[in-house]
């Protein structure tokens, strides 16, 4: 707020009026581009890890997904006669996150289709950045999984041989790729990788979700930069862990549920999306609690070994309702 008021006023003078500048009154050097660049920087460690563990095909999928997201964003904005805003880097973030949710052996057209759906249908058709009602990358993953489940569930194990295998969560739920339908949970646990392999990312899974260490480094960077609030990922992961124990998951398997699948990726990079999560502090906590409850229920009681994507998408849809009941009280209003 800028302005001045006369300290002394005599009878022959007219006091200067208080001059108020246009909103916003609290100014910041932050911009959409700066925030998106921070997210890209935070995703770099996991991107490097994806290429290290899964080879150049992972790099190809990431670059294809980014290029497709940029192309579709510019093309649809040109078609709608809107300002082309690919310089804000939001499409790059969407492209990376879509690639992170793909298996390393996915064909080239999978990230292209996913990016097209995310940018055109979920983002631009609802008004562009800030107006989408659900996370574009997660929506694309849900569509890809529903359309091509065999491709999206066929994961490659790290190494040069490109051998397919089950993820740790699938091993615990189904008994592993080679265990057969009659395998017990006890037999499946014997096939699980070590906790250290889980932590560093030397396991099968989507290319961007396997390394808990590299994702945590990126998440910590976002917290230090104050791009995200630490409460959302902590409450999300904590709620998931507590409910898994309540639902009967053994303590020695709990660490696999936390480090495996997309829980850490979703908690730090998707459940904290500005556009699709509540803006109120209490609403954000409720959002994280709901996502954690749904994730645990789907993993234990549902038909899929993973539940992060659907949990966050369901809470995205519930965000307006959460905000309605957690909005601060208004003291006084104009007649």
Residue 108's region, left for phi above 0, alpha for psi from -120 to 50, else beta, is: alpha
pLDDT for the residue numbered 31: 85
Which of 91, 114, 133, 98 minimizes the C-alpha distance to 265?
Answer: 98
pLDDT for the residue numbered 54: 92
Distance CA 107, CA 102 (A): 10
**Residue-wise pLDDT tens digits, 274-303:** 889 999 999 999 999 999 999 999 999 988
pLDDT for the residue numbered 67: 97
pLDDT for the residue numbered 173: 81
| Residue whose pair of structure tokens reads 């979703």 in the numeric block | 266
DSSP 8-state secondary structure symbol assigned to residue 179: T
User: Which regions of the chain are under pLDDT 70?
Assistant: 1-29, 159-163, 176-190, 331-335
- 312 phi/psi in degrees, rounded to 5: -65, -40
Question: CA 214, 219, 222 angle in degrees (round to 5)?
Answer: 135
Q: Are 210 and 38 in contact (CB under 8 A)?
A: no
pTM over 0.95: no
How crowded is residue 184: how many other Cβ atoms within 10 Å of its Cβ?
9
37 membership: H or E segment, kind and range: helix 32-54
Distance CA 200, CA 211 (A): 5
Find out whether the peptide bond into 261 is cis, omega within 30 degrees of 0: no
Residue 298 DSSP SS3: helix
How crowded is residue 187: how many other Cβ atoms within 10 Å of its Cβ?
14
Distance CA 286, CA 278 (A): 9
Which of 149, 69, 34, 161 minimizes the C-alpha distance to 103?
Answer: 149
- 89 phi/psi in degrees, rounded to 5: 70, 5
218 membership: H or E segment, kind and range: helix 212-224
Q: Are 296 and 247 in contact (CB under 8 A)?
A: yes
pLDDT for the residue numbered 169: 87
pLDDT for the residue numbered 21: 56
Distance CA 269, CA 81 (A): 31
Residue 230 DSSP SS3: coil
Handedness of CA 305, 309, 312, 316 (dihedral sign): negative
**Residue-wise pLDDT tens digits, 209-226:** 999 999 999 999 999 999
Residue 227 DSSP SS3: coil
Q: Delineate the domains of the chain, giving CATH numbers in brackets.
A: 32-326 (1.10.3430)
pLDDT for the residue numbered 131: 87
Q: How far apart are the first and last CA of the chain?
A: 26
pLDDT for the residue numbered 303: 84
pLDDT for the residue numbered 165: 72
């Amino acid at each position: 707020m800028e302005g001045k008021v006369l300290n002394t006023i005599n009878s022959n003078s007219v006091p200067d009026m208080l001059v108020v500048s246009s909103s916003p009154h609290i100014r910041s050097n932050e911009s959409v581009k700066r925030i998106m660049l921070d997210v890209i920087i935070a995703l770099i460690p996991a991107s490097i890890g994806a290429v290290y563990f899964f080879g150049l095909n992972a790099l190809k999928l990431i670059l294809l997904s980014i290029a497709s997201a940029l192309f579709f964003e510019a093309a649809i904005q040109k078609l709608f006669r809107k300002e082309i805003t690919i310089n804000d880097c939001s499409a790059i973030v969407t492209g990376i996150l879509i690639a992170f949710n793909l298996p390393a052996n996915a064909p080239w057209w999978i990230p292209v289709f996913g990016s097209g759906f995310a940018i055109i249908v979920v983002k631009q058709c609802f008004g562009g950045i800030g107006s989408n009602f659900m996370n574009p990358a997660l929506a694309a993953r849900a569509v890809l999984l529903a359309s091509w489940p065999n491709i999206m569930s066929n994961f490659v194990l790290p190494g040069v041989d490109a051998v397919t295998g089950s993820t740790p969560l699938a091993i615990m739920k189904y008994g592993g790729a080679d265990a057969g339908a009659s395998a017990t949970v006890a037999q499946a646990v014997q096939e699980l990788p070590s906790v250290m392999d889980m932590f560093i990312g030397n396991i099968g899974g989507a290319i961007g979700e396997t390394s808990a260490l590299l994702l945590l480094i990126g998440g910590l960077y976002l917290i230090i930069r104050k791009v995200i609030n630490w409460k959302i990922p902590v409450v999300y992961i904590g709620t998931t862990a507590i409910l898994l124990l309540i639902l009967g998951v053994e303590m020695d398997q709990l660490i696999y549920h936390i480090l495996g699948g997309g829980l850490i990726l979703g908690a730090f990079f998707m459940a904290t999306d500005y556009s699709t999560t509540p803006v109120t502090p209490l609403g954000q906590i409720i959002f994280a609690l709901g996502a954690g409850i749904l994730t645990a229920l789907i993993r234990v009681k549902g038909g899929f070994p993973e539940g992060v994507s659907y949990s966050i998408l369901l809470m995205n849809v519930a965000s307006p309702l959460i905000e309605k009941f957690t909005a601060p009280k208004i003291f006084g209003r104009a007649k």
